[in-house]
C-alpha cells in the first residue's frame, strides 16, 4: 500500500507540472484523490478497530492532528515566505476580497477545516456567495490559499470527525453509504454531478468512497485472511503489482473513460486488503508510503519555485521543468519526512500505545538528547 500511496501522490504532482497534458503516465489528479479517499477509509477503519486506545476519541483526533498539521503548517509558512520574497502580487488578492471571503480564506488556511468549501465559494459584486463554479468569480479564492491542494485535507478532517461514531456501527455505515450514493446519483441527474467541483470535492457525495474503503477492511480483509491463509502473502504480491501497473498505465489504456475509472475504483476496493497485507510484510513498502503525504502537501510550492528559477536562467522546456520540479518535490518530501514527520511520529507512537502525555514529552526529550553529539 505504501508504494501505491506514493504513486498516487506522484500522480497529483504530475498533474500540476507543465507536461501534465503531454506525458501519458499515471492517472489524473482527480482520480488519484478519489483513490486516496478509499485508502483513508480503509486505514481509519483498521486503526479504530485494532487499537483499543482509540476508543478514546480525543486520542484518535489528537493522533490525526499530529499526522496532518505539523507538515502542513511548515509548508504553509514556507509558501508564505516564498510569496513574500518572489510574488508580492499574491497578497493583492486579499485586498480585493470582501470581509466574509477574507475570513473564509484566512481561517481555513490556518485550521484547514473549510478549505474544501472555498471550492464552492465565489465573489460577485463585493459579496461572498455559494457557487458551484468557483472559477467564475471576481476573485479566485482558491488562488489565495497558501497550499491550494490542501482542500482535500478539509474533506479528510470532516471524515475523521465522524469516523469514531460511524465506523463502529455496520448498519450506520450502510445507511450513510446508501444516502451518499443516492446524493451522487441525484447530482448527476441534476446535471452537475460530473462537473467540477461536484465531481470529487463535495464531502457528502465523496463520503461513499471513504465508507467503501472501510467496508473493504471490515468485510474483505477477514475474508481473505480466512480463505487464503498460507498463500495470502504470495497473492498480496500479485495484487499489489496489478494495482501498481494499472496506476502507472491508466492514461495509456484505450477504453472508455468511465469504464476505466470504474475498473480503477473497483480494483482498489477489492485488492486493497491484499495491498495492506503486502505493506505489513515488506518494510520498504511502508517506508516509501511515508513520503506520500509530504510529497502531496509540499510539491506545488516547490514546482512553482523551480519553474521561476529555471525561467530566470532561460530554461523553459516543458519536460526539463517537469523533471526538475518532480525531482525537487521528492527531495523536499524526504526533508519534510526526516525533520518533521519522523519527530512527530515518536509522539504519535506513544499516543497509539496509550502512554501518558508526560511520558510522550519525556520520550521526545530523551530522543533529542541522544541525538546530540
Question: Is there a contact between 325 and 318 (Cβ–Cβ < 8 Å)?
Answer: no
Q: Where does residue 26 fall: left (phi above 0), alpha (psi -120 to 50 degrees), or beta otherwise? A: left
pLDDT at residue 351, rounded to an integer: 87
**Is 371 a domain residue?**
no
pLDDT in tens, the chain (373 residues): 899 999 999 999 999 999 998 887 889 999 999 999 999 999 999 999 999 999 999 999 999 999 999 999 999 999 999 999 999 899 999 999 999 999 999 999 999 999 999 999 999 999 999 998 899 999 999 999 999 999 999 999 999 999 999 999 999 999 999 999 999 999 999 999 999 999 999 999 999 999 999 999 999 999 999 999 999 999 999 999 999 999 999 999 999 999 999 999 999 999 999 999 999 888 899 899 999 999 999 999 999 999 999 999 999 999 999 999 999 999 999 999 999 999 999 999 988 887 654 444 444 343 344 333 3
| pTM exceeds 0.85 | yes
Closest CA to 330 of 274, 361, 369, 290: 290
What is the bridge-based pairing of β-strands 127-130 and 121-124? antiparallel
Cα–Cα distance for residue pair 304/78, rounded to 1 Å = 12
Domain ranges, residue 298: 2-364
**Is 31 a domain residue?**
yes
Question: Is there a contact between 224 and 277 (Cβ–Cβ < 8 Å)?
Answer: yes
**Is 281 a domain residue?**
yes
Element (H, E) at 114: none
**Is 40 a domain residue?**
yes
pLDDT at residue 22, rounded to an integer: 85
Helix (H, G, I), strand (E, B) or coil at 123: strand
Question: How many angstroms separate the Cα of 62 from the Cα of each of 57, 161, 310?
Answer: 9, 11, 41
Query: Total domain count for the chain?
Result: 1
**Is 373 a domain residue?**
no
Assign 3-class secondary structure to 197-220. CCCCCCHHHHHHHHHHHHHHHHHH
**Is 370 a domain residue?**
no
pLDDT at residue 24, rounded to an integer: 75
- CA 346, chain centre distance (Å): 22
**Is 259 a domain residue?**
yes
**Is 372 a domain residue?**
no
**Backbone torsions φ then ψ of 331, nearest 5 degrees:** -65, -40
Give 348-363 pLDDT, tens digit per residue. 998 888 765 444 444 4
Amino acid at each position: 500500500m505504501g508504494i501505491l500511496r506514493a504513486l498516487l501522490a506522484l500522480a497529483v504532482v504530475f498533474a500540476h507540472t507543465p507536461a501534465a497534458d503531454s506525458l501519458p503516465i499515471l492517472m489524473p489528479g482527480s482520480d488519484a484523490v478519489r483513490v486516496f479517499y478509499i485508502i483513508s477509509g480503509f486505514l481509519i477503519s483498521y486503526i479504530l478497530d485494532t487499537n483499543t486506545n482509540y476508543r478514546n476519541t480525543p486520542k484518535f483526533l489528537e493522533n490525526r492532528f499530529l499526522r496532518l498539521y505539523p507538515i502542513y503548517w511548515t509548508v504553509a509558512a514556507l509558501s508564505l515566505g516564498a510569496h513574500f520574497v518572489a510574488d508580492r502580487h499574491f497578497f493583492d488578492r486579499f485586498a480585493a476580497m470582501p470581509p466574509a471571503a477574507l475570513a473564509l480564506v484566512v481561517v481555513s488556511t490556518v485550521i484547514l477545516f473549510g478549505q474544501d468549501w472555498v471550492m464552492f465559494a465565489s465573489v460577485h459584486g463585493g459579496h461572498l456567495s455559494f457557487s458551484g463554479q468557483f472559477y467564475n468569480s471576481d476573485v479566485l479564492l482558491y488562488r489565495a490559499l497558501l497550499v491550494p491542494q490542501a482542500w482535500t485535507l478539509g474533506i479528510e478532517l470532516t471524515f475523521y470527525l465522524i469516523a469514531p461514531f460511524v465506523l463502529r456501527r455496520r448498519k450506520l455505515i450502510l445507511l450513510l453509504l446508501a444516502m451518499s450514493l443516492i446524493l451522487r446519483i441525484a447530482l448527476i441527474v441534476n446535471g452537475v454531478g460530473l462537473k467540477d467541483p461536484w465531481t470529487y470535492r463535495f464531502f457528502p457525495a465523496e463520503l461513499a468512497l471513504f465508507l467503501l474503503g472501510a467496508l473493504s477492511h471490515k468485510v474483505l480483509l477477514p475474508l481473505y485472511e480466512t480463505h487464503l491463509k498460507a498463500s495470502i502473502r504470495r497473492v498480496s504480491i500479485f495484487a499489489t503489482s496489478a494495482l501498481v501497473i494499472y496506476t502507472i498505465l491508466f492514461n495509456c489504456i484505450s477504453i472508455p473513460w468511465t469504464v476505466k475509472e470504474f475498473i480503477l475504483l473497483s480494483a482498489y476496493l477489492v485488492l486493497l486488503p491484499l495491498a495492506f497485507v503486502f505493506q505489513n510484510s515488506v518494510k520498504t513498502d511502508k517506508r516509501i508510503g511515508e513520503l506520500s503525504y509530504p510529497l502531496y502537501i509540499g510539491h506545488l510550492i516547490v514546482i512553482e519555485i523551480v519553474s521561476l528559477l529555471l525561467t530566470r536562467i532561460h530554461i523553459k522546456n516543458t519536460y526539463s521543468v517537469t523533471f526538475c520540479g518532480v525531482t525537487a518535490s521528492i527531495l523536499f518530501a524526504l526533508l519534510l519526512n526526516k525533520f518533521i514527520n519522523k519527530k512527530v511520529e515518536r509522539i504519535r507512537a506513544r499516543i497509539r500505545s496509550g502512554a501518558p502525555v508526560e511520558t510522550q514529552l519525556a520520550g521526545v526529550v530523551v530522543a533529542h538528547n541522544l541525538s546530540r553529539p
